[in-house]
Structure 1
């Protein structure tokens, strides 16, 4: 058990932390006052006092609130992955893959992305003087356990493959890749001086690269996408040439993207698709 409510010092710190958590819960806008009351008991005293679930007469688990997987990871007192996975399984709302990732039956994963997408400013980090982030520093764990690591895990991917709908597959992957690239360039550009080290798209790079594999179009349709691709490759070159000049978290993100990109078995058509943007980035730097 990771809760220590009998430890006065631990409980005092946890109560102080709750003030920040409560504010974040209200900002989300989809937990009722009764939900927040239950979550508070879970947050301070653990599942022994408030398990956030009931068991009916047939032995079936009934969750008391929605998006349990997100709460169980985000508000767990430690970062111990195995302990959190055991807690998630207590809700019987998840399936665990061999790599340790969790696929939820509810929409907790989508909510995580929605919160990060809709309000970048509210997704706080230590740059604003806070010791924690919107998700209490659990963004990487949320990404690892709740979000698919690749498009191959998505239901729409499996549907496209089943029906041999390669055109739809290409469109879906183009949209997913565009979204990830747009968020990454925002991360590199908007917060270059004081980046958010907890920004969740730092942990979606393998997903981004996997989407790239299935794009069949001869060019990208979106002008924003084209501009952001040039910006992305420009930043990659900058960080490679002078890593000591830039914040550690953006350099590490760029290095990981480059590694995954170079190691991926991408079709020649994809390299041809990206070549003009890589060239434009290098020419712009000259």
Structure 2
């Protein structure tokens, strides 16, 4: 019997880099399960788009680059099985689509607006500060916390996600789910050193667990990350990632590999795992 083939779509990092460890551990664990795994950087290879069927039994979409997302969409079009499914990855990559889906699922997200000209939300400054986000930004890029109208006028006219800004009380909480396990990592923002990025593992309260599970239910996935802030005794979800780095999660690569093996054994169509079917390209 031929061993299943899994293709991990991941950005290349030097072998000794902490970012490379997650993928290395994932591949090693898959080998333990007698699954053949190959790692491919979508930005460093030519891809034959004329292939009528997927070349791998399952793909793991770790990279978040535009090329990786486009490749995942092309693979999805010919029936590839992907963790996480392309529609979900695309929805989470667009903070506007993501925010609307989470709000509709009853997740506690701040009041939010989609604007082209940020000056359109100037009247809402009377109720407190706003944070303006690049819908495609990541790792803190494209964030603007504004307290007065003048700051809004300085921004370019292009699509923005504007949220009510709830100043965090203490470090951010990075919540991660892998299968049925949930982890909470406390981390300063912005995290500058490797030690800060790994953060501190905390117990997961019942309230946090309920919020995290509701986020996953909104998209039908069980491998993802959620950013939560605390403000005046309330918890707010301010971002979600379909495949984060899982820094601070013990043996994350092994745990993800176990989920991948379960997907290989699952005969149900992929659509049953993906609840978002139409997204902005």
Give the TM bin, normalised by the shorter chain. Answer: under 0.3
Larger RCO: Structure 1 or Structure 2 (Cα < 8 Å, ≥ 6 residues apart)? 2
Q: Which structure shows the bigger proportion of residues in helix conformation?
A: 1
Q: TM-score, normalised by structure 2?
A: 0.27
Higher gyration radius (CA): 1
Q: Which structure shows the bigger proportion of residues in strand conformation?
A: 2
